[in-house]
Structure 1
Amino acid sequence: MIRGRVVAAAALLLAAACAPTTHSGSAASSGSTTAPGEVPTPDHVLVVVFENKDAASVVGAPEAPYLTSLAAAGATFTDAHGVTHPSQPNYVALFAGSPLGVVDDSCPHSFEASNLAGQLLAAGRTFVGYSEDLPAAGDTSCRAGRYARKHNPWVDFPALPPEVNQPAGALPADFADLPTVAFLVPNLCNDMHDCGVPAGDAWAKAHLPAYVGWARTHDSLLVVTFDEDEGSRDNLIPTFMVGPMVKPGSTPQRIDHYSVLRTLEDMYGLPPLGEAASRQPISGIWTAG
């Protein structure tokens, strides 16, 4: 468990949620800081990645009451997709714009390619990936208990400083100390890979409300997504975003991991990597700033 994170803030989240609407995805709303076709620049983005579930198994499912309520408070993508099977190449694609030749869950890998963390650091921004049950900061183990390196792509890029690879327990007590972009990856039970939807929903309820409540008054964003579905060709996954810059409601625009990466890059003025260059940034869900 992330220290100091078991905060019962779900009531705050639900009270702040607006009535759902449907977004066309054709254009972003205009405003003082977010003009049509633009994405916002959140102070912080936290990306949480779960595992191997069909979209209908999570959002709206009785086994996932907290995640369903969280999705209802934000923008839910009804046509979101993983890019391949199995797990590992999806994580690499989300982080680097390409699976970089990875086609399985083998370990270890080492890449020299450009990646989101390197881009952020070069631009004077910050990045940290937090992995539950990672034995120690900078650890390069392939497996340790319920930690699996295959779900931790930043460790595969040795040019990155080891400080970007942190245990989940290192998540700062003061969210203002978070990096510009952070990834949070639960262990093999809590990510739903081994223990199913109820375990992941319970983990989310224990660890996410505090950040969500804080983000609403600190111009910050939560992204919840999954690596892949349960093995279908369509690879339809749950994905939603919650924050003060997001209009609650469902959106039918088709997105995938490259779309999410492109959006993160556009938020901070970074050039799109690999297949992210062939995607448009996510639109139609942003409020006027």
Structure 2
Amino acid sequence: MRFRRLVAPVLLALAATLALPAVPASAALPTYDHIVVLIEENHSAAEVIGSASAPYLTSLATNGANMTQSYAVTHPSEPNYLALYSGSTQGLTDDSCPHTYSGENLGHQLLAAGRSFAGYSQTMPSAGYTGCTYGRYARKHNPWVNFTNVPASANLRFADFPTSYANLPKLSFVVPDLCYDMHDCSVSTGDTWVKNNLGAYATWAKANNSLLVVTFDEDDRSAGNKIPTIFSGAHVATGTYSERITHYTVLRTLESLTGVGCTGNSCAVSPVSDIWN
């Protein structure tokens, strides 16, 4: 009798535990060796994803995480670059140049945490260049050059982009020039540039614990500022994802993936957490 009295409560507790519904574990964000963020220009999601003019970017979206409700923060271009990079438009409402800021930003966050960072701008004439324009290069599309707490050594030409991808920084941005970012040239021209210049990295990333993020600064003012945003690489669960995100969400995701704190308006949003496997 005494044995039964001792065992019965244990069995009841066990049965109650087994009857509880399973609580799914929170999805953990992966830790990448390398992340490359590509910024293209001035086209809505509908003009790119699924378009015959953009077969390569469409293939990235089809075989990666296609964020179907991704929105830029504002118009015109420059405030969006600042939002994506620093969590704030810095009060800017135009594409003027030059500007100097001293606040927190993703590049400084990474360097302060002992992680590597660089921005690669096509057609920029020299590393550390601070001029507003040079040929088809535009400083308005290069936010890191504006911040005094990011060294000139992080402001690189796309010609400096490593051919051995294992030598890439922890996180880097790639900004094509005014033709190949689709600002002045066609979607097809930009799509071909991405394939020819980052397609090999995109393939390499999947097998080498790395990630490619493709996003746009803004739409062409035709679609409520809905823009393409794609995550492609290792640990990405293929699919379409319909949660609303903005440049601030992408920034918060990059911060979380690299283990640094949030900054500015990225602190008011959560990172993308449902696309990882």
Asked if Structure 1 and Structure 2 have the same fold, meaning a TM-score greater than 0.5 normalized by the shorter chain, the answer is: yes
**TM alignment of 1:1-289, pairs within 5 A:** 36-232=26-222, 234-287=224-277
Q: Which amino acid aligns with 1:36?
A: S
What is the deviation of 1:233?
6.9
Identity %: 52
Task: Give SS of 1:253's match.
Answer: coil
Q: Which amino acid aligns with 1:45?
A: I
Q: Which amino acid aligns with 2:176?
A: P
Q: Which amino acid aligns with 2:139?
A: R
Question: In 2, Cα distance between the equivalents of 1:159 and 1:209?
Answer: 32
Question: In 1, Cα distance between the equivalents of 2:190 and 2:248?
Answer: 24
Give the aligned CA root-mean-square deviation in angstroms.
1.1
Task: Give SS of 2:242's match.
Answer: strand
The structure 1 segments of at least 4 consecutive aligned residues displaced by more than 2 Å after TM superposition are: none
Note if contact 1:39-1:281 (Cα within 8 Å) is conserved in structure 2: no
Q: Highest Rg: 1 or 2?
A: 2
Moved more, 228-237 or 179-188: 228-237
Decide which structure has greater helix share. Answer: 2
What is the deviation of 1:66?
1.1
2:6 maps to: none
2:15 maps to: none
Q: Which amino acid aligns with 1:99?
A: T
Question: In 2, Cα distance between the equivalents of 1:194 and 1:44?
Answer: 30
Note if contact 1:131-1:167 (Cα within 8 Å) is conserved in structure 2: yes
Q: Which has the higher contact order (CA 8 A, sep 6+)?
A: 1
Alignment deviations for residues 173-198 of structure 1 (CA, whole Å, 9 cap, x no partner): 11011000000000000000000201
Alignment deviations for residues 226-256 of structure 1 (CA, whole Å, 9 cap, x no partner): 0000124721000111012101110001101
Which 5+ residue runs of structure 1 have no aligned equivalent? 1-29
